[in-house]
Structure 1
Amino acid sequence: MVWSNGYQLQSRDYRIERVLGQGGFGITYQARHLKLDQDFVIKTPNEHLQLDPEYPKFVDRFIKEGQRIAQLCTNPHPHIVRVFDLFQEGDTHCMVMDFIPGENLLQRVQGQGALPEAEAVRYFQQIGGALQRVHEAGLVHRDAHPGNIMFRGDQAVLIDFGIAGEMVPVTVSSKYGWNPAFAPFEQMRGFREPTVDIYTLSASLYYALTGERPATSLDRKMMM
């Protein structure tokens, strides 16, 4: 069940403001913490995954990954979204993260066109540093495409990492665990190495500098 606007969680002091995104893997919400009077993002698995025979393993990975990301945030990186809490609302597992109200790279390029080279390089140096920290922690983002690069002032922030890419059950990973315009061919076969992030980041930089989506890795492989 997708929580409606205004729904107040029973296990924590959050009120759902709106759905930010919904895909094959999960749902993200903007939620208001009623005592802190601040907005956060709550991410949950999509309920249809409960029908997957691998769902219990998926939930276990979801929890462990959240714990590892939260541990990563004990020494916060300015260009990585922070994770604050893991909990259950009934049967639904929840992860609480920073809410970043700015636009993402996809929206910025769609609105103003290709970015100046110096600006794009500065942002991607920031995201490259974020991915280095992620890799040092033994994690792989696997989805560092323009929609997951947000802007907070003049800072680029990597969001939504380590969840859809690292934890989607086998039965849905090929359909939902990658973005075809920015993912390497190997990712479609379940490849989970840091080089996946290098490819995706490079494809995202191409998009930032040209304003055009790169040819998919599958298309290029078929042309070889």
Structure 2
Amino acid sequence: MSSIVADRYQLLAPVGKGATGVVWRAHDQLLERDVALKEIALPPGPDASHRRRKVVREARMAARLSHRGIVTVHNLVEEPERLWIVMEFLEALTLHDTVVQAGPLPVELVAKLGRRLLEALRHAHDGGVVHRDIKPANIMLTGDRVVLADFGFAAFEGAATTSMRGTPAFIAPEALQGRGGTREADMWSFGATLYMAVEGRTPFRTVNSIAALIEALREPPRAPRRAGALEPLLRGLLRKDPMSRLGSEQAYQMLVNLRRHSAA
């Protein structure tokens, strides 16, 4: 593989691996700036065209969303055996890495992160896009920005999405029944992400297998121990019935009210 992509992007070093590809730090020699390149290898045979269509769809969905809380897509490069999504490069830690290194985060900080993340998620939903893989590893923290990344599993709202996608510990229980591609499912994942941030653990004991989804479907979440004023929000987001789950407007208002009470 050449270290120069499209006669323009010089690959510098791999910086991570997402659910759908390897992410590289690269230098845009034309505009003289660093960018992130997500490399997606195409499988051999007839599956390549299907995979190509999915990658193009991912790039288009992310590119249509313009918000400081969503990673910016600059370009899409197509090659015979792979594709490259060109995105802004962020010097950032993920929320997952932050919790691993620092432990459970303070309630006030998690509420602040939650407000900014929810603003980005509401923008995506207003644009007709459901993310389907919200989790701490897909939340980038840099400066005063909270950035939602990796739209590899995203779908247009209302599209047929019977296949299960995402990370078991953060997937809504209805996804086990093939009903995961909705705003309500994203709100469950948002709640599980905030739970992890403030508690330092996932809402359920099982983390990385199908057993996590079965537990989420049958058992109540573990009672929060550190959430404090965030507990009613977490309980409302982690309701098993998607129709009774808190929506984005309700959740956002609760976060705003929590900030007002903290400032009082």
TM range (shorter): 0.7 to 0.9
Q: TM-score, normalised by structure 2?
A: 0.70
Q: TM-score, normalised by structure 1?
A: 0.82
| Structure 1 counterpart of 2:82, one-letter code | T
Which residue of 190, 195, 207 maps to 1:201?
190
- The match for 1:121 is 111
* Cα distance in 1 for residues equivalent to 2:127 and 2:7: 29
* Cα distance in 1 for residues equivalent to 2:15 and 2:179: 27
- The match for 1:81 is 71
* Structure-2 change in CA distance of 1:134 and 1:50 (3 Å): farther
| Structure 2 counterpart of 1:121, one-letter code | A
Q: In the TM superposition, what are the counterparts of 1:20-169 in structure 2 within 5 Å?
A: 20-22=15-17, 25-47=20-42, 49-51=43-45, 53-73=46-66, 77-161=67-151, 163-166=152-155
The alpha carbon displacement at 1:223 in A equals 4.1
Query: Which structure carries more relative contact order (alpha carbon 8 Å, separation 6+)?
Result: 1
Moved more, 79-88 or 18-27: 18-27
* Cα distance in 2 for residues equivalent to 1:195 and 1:102: 28
* Structure-2 change in CA distance of 1:105 and 1:23 (3 Å): closer
2:202 pairs with 1:213: yes
* Cα distance in 2 for residues equivalent to 1:195 and 1:37: 41
Aligned CA-pair RMSD: 2.4
* Cα distance in 2 for residues equivalent to 1:99 and 1:187: 32
Moved more, 197-206 or 82-91: 82-91
The alpha carbon displacement at 1:36 in A equals 2.7
Q: In the TM superposition, what are the counterparts of 1:185-200 in structure 2 within 5 Å?
A: 185-188=173-176, 189=178, 191-200=180-189
* Cα distance in 1 for residues equivalent to 2:217 and 2:54: 32
**Is the CA contact 2:172–2:180 (under 8 Å) kept in the aligned structure 1?**
no
* Cα distance in 2 for residues equivalent to 1:132 and 1:8: 37
The alpha carbon displacement at 1:111 in A equals 1.0
Displacement over 4 Å in runs of 4+: none
Which 5+ residue runs of structure 2 have no aligned equivalent?
157-162, 205-211, 221-264
- The match for 1:170 is none
* Structure-2 change in CA distance of 1:50 and 1:202 (3 Å): farther
Identity %: 28
The alpha carbon displacement at 1:55 in A equals 3.9
Moved more, 181-190 or 113-122: 181-190
Which residue of 5, 8, 18 maps to 2:4?
8
- The match for 1:184 is 172
Which 5+ residue runs of structure 1 have no aligned equivalent?
168-172
The alpha carbon displacement at 1:197 in A equals 1.0
